[in-house]
Amino acid sequence: MAISVWRQVLTLPVIVIAMGYFVDIYDLILFGVVRVESLSELGLDKEGITLWGSYILNAQMAGMLIGGILWGILGDKKGRLSVLFASIILYSVANLLNAFVTNVEQYTILRFIAGIGLAGELGAGVTLVAEILPKELRGYGVMTIAAFGVLGVVAAKGVAGYFEWRNAYIIGGVLGFMLLALRFRVRESAMFEHNLSDDIKRGQFFALFTHKKLFTKYIKAIVIGMPLWYVVGILVMFSPEFATALSIQGEVTAGSALMYTYIGLSVGDLASGYLSQQMRSRKKAYTIFMALSLLSVIYYFTLQGASADAFYIAVFLLGVFCGYWALFITMAAEQFGTNIRATVATTVPNFVRGSVVPITSSFMLLKESMGVLGAAATVGSVVFVIALVALYYTRETFHEDLDYIEA
């Protein structure tokens, strides 16, 4: 991009929201990084670590489902900034308390509460940026947020490598409260403020299910993002188990796999966002990246007997070609009017994250009869087919003017 374009994109709201997403991803992914260490200290054996790891991950994602609805409605009724303030306070407190858990039940409850808080960050931020930037630049703005934000996993891995897992949670909570101070300098979306008439129905979550047109758009917006969290929630989160099943030569840790995946996601978010801007089409860029993502998943399953380095290269590629998260959120936000946009932009990514619950549950159920590889391949096949069909019927949004309301 030209320097003049960067100057227009890198405004204070974009920078502060990007930093917020960085902290959000740090806190979101930290459990995956410290899963083995923390659950071992709490007295679990290898099988218990896998089982309770799944339970806690599902609790966190279930919290994000609930939080996505609550924050989305609040964002449309009270403003985007109200969510950015309240959500970061909740997940920062929860992460601080995570440092003092003494059993897995407490751990599960606090990750559920943290999940509720984490649900508000990205959707409200993306909605605000999409509404304050010109339509020809909003893709760059969201791309910048996502590309910088996903590097939070690198920070999580680095912090967990140098500090004991309890201190890693404390650092996450402190970072959240430090960021909170910066948010007082960010202004509300003018597009939201001039649509505050009492005659306009805002944040009508259930209208997304009772209105046929809205429901169809909403379901498609969710389904097209599911492959990304299949990759992260199954293939990467449980990478030590897959490394064993694939007879990988050398040690593979979930923390390292997550770090390489999220570095890849950062690269992919930049590449997919830039491609969509150059092609002037969200849908074409998304289709290309989803196809490449499917190929990278197939490659992952061919690594029988490979080295640990080769495995990490594969998970990096998984991240690169699943790096359409920013594009996914942008498309969702652009599909709907101002009076329900925050609700959609907040709930859609969290329903996708929450899809880890049925995806992981299906994987765990099939694992007993089909093995780790067979179960993952079966679940992945279903997820990708459904997503590709939904993407085919999704409309292009690149040139959409967002200053309108849904009747």
pLDDT-derived band at 149 (thresholds 50, 70, 90) equals confident
pLDDT at 24: 87
- Reduced to 3 states (helix: H, G, I; strand: E, B; else coil), residue 322 is coil
**First and final CA of the chain: distance in angstroms?**
37
pLDDT at 34 > cutoff 70: yes
Based on DSSP, count helices (H) and strands (E) in the chain, helices before strands: 20, 0
Contact predicate 65/354, CB 8 Å: yes
Q: Cα(337)–Cα(70) distance, rounded to whole angstroms? A: 18
Cα 275 to Cα 285: distance, rounded to the nearest angstrom? 6
Note whether 344 and 336 are within 8 A (CB).
yes
Amino acid at 272: S
pLDDT tens digits, residue range 41-72? 998 888 888 888 888 988 988 888 898 889 88
Q: Give CA–CA dist 326/323, Å, rounded.
A: 8
**pTM, 2 dp:** 0.78
Q: Which of 20-24, 345-349, 397-401 has the lowest mean pLDDT?
A: 397-401
Helix/strand/coil for 249: strand
Mean pLDDT, all residues of the chain: 87
What is the model's pLDDT at position 198? Answer: 60
pLDDT tens for residues 289-312? 999 999 999 999 999 999 999 999
Strand partners, 307: 249
Report the range out of 24-33, 89-98, 153-162 with the highest average pLDDT.
89-98
Note the helical H segments in 246-354: 254-279, 282-300, 308-321, 325-334, 338-354
Q: Picking from 101-110, 163-172, 180-189, which range would have the lowest pLDDT averaged per residue?
A: 180-189
Tell whether the model's pLDDT for residue 154 goes beyond 90.
no
- pLDDT higher than 80, residue 380: yes
Q: What is the pLDDT of residue 290?
A: 95
Task: Report, at the CATH architecture level, how domain 3-184+203-392 is classified.
Answer: Up-down Bundle (1.20)
The CA-based dihedral angle spanning residues 229, 34, 181, 72, taken in that order and rounded to the nearest 10 degrees: 30
Q: Smallest Cα–Cα separation from 129: which of 179, 77, 188?
A: 188
